[in-house]
């Protein structure tokens, strides 16, 4: 009797395992699920001397970049601040953030948007965002990064689109 239940459980386990693998294959092949990949590598000790992170800030896309985004925001995370601490971007434009860190892992989180990423030493994180409405957003570090982690905030000011 016990043996029979054991066989049933073994078969059930096999079915679940097969189902999980099948779901994974389908989501990768059909749903194009993927893990975010680093947009680039950088020497953490040399961030401040490496372009474009030696001059963080906002700039307009070049003609070559225009089909991908309208504005580029370059930011450096450092315990416990963002450089620059506040950026201004226009409403309705495609903004590409490129972010790295000079020290430990930080989080890049803008509430009520899709911006939610880890900023990892040695890695450049890119994320694309369009702010549909003007107003001020907070940029929050949501990876524990030390004693002043809770004070590591930034500001994203979205200016109204020109009419
Ligand atoms: Cu930076 Cu928490």
Contact assessment for residue 128 and residue 61, using Cβ atoms and an 8 Å cutoff: no
Overall average pLDDT of the 26-52 stretch: 82
- Does ligand 1 lie within 6 Å of residue 118's CB atom? no
- Does ligand 1 lie within 6 Å of residue 95's CB atom? no
How far away, in angstroms, is 86 Cα from ligand 1 center?
Answer: 16
pLDDT band with cut points at 50, 70 and 90 for residue 5: confident
> Model-level pTM?
0.79
pLDDT tens digits, 51-70:
999 999 999 999 999 999 99
- Measured CA to CA, the distance from residue 61 to residue 63 in angstroms comes to 7
pLDDT band with cut points at 50, 70 and 90 for residue 163: low
Ramachandran angles phi, psi of 91, nearest 5°: -60, 140
């Amino acid at each position: 009797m016990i043996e029979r239940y054991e066989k049933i459980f073994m078969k059930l386990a096999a079915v679940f395992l097969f189902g999980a693998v099948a779901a994974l294959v389908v989501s990768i092949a059909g749903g194009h699920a993927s893990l975010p990949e680093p947009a680039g590598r950088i020497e953490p000790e040399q961030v401040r001397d490496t372009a474009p992170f030696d001059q963080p800030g906002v700039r307009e896309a070049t003609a070559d970049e225009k089909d991908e985004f309208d504005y580029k925001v370059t930011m450096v995370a450092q315990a416990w601040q963002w450089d620059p601490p506040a950026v201004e971007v226009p409403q309705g434009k495609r903004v590409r953030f490129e972010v790295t860190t000079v020290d430990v892992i930080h989080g890049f989180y803008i509430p009520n948007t899709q911006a939610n990423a880890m900023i990892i030493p040695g890695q450049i994180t890119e994320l694309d965002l369009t702010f549909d409405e003007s107003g001020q957003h907070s940029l929050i570090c949501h990876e524990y990064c030390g004693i002043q982690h809770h004070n590591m905030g930034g500001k994203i000011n979205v200016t109204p689109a020109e009419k």
